[in-house]
Chains A and B, each alone.
Chain A
């Protein structure tokens, strides 16, 4: 089955620790996105990648980093500089030439110990 796989489903971060969230897609989509969702809030864009080896900061990129070395993979690192990382993180990819449809993964819930 084609789709987007996010792992792990739940992740706990200790003070001062960097953690990496995995996002893999087998849809052959060029564009991939990372969003953060807080309770009662909409989706806020962290990073966006249109093609391999290229990515742009979104509205809330501070404290996060990404890489896009392969078309299928777009991992997100939450660094120790992100002081309030507790949130639900969603990865998505885009079908078509424009953003008319995003396919989302099932999300990763990150919590601070």
Chain B
């Protein structure tokens, strides 16, 4: 009963490198989300996906790429990491986007870009 998992949990990388954060859910939820959380800010939505092969931008999409070839996976790629992308990243999923559906969050990935 893994639910929603993220890997790696911690990552240190250098400016300019490509980094991929993984998110996997076992519930077959239609919706998946990526957020970042920084001190002094609430969670901010980066990208979300309503189903396999359907993705849409959130509030802060610049510098990030997502894909969703399978319902259960939603990787987030930083194509050329910058120091401003140092943050804690949370993945979430939601059943079907119904009127009162709620989001379920993973444990987070702490990313440091040097």
Task: Say if A and B assemble together.
Answer: no
Q: State the B residues within 8 Å of A (CB).
A: none
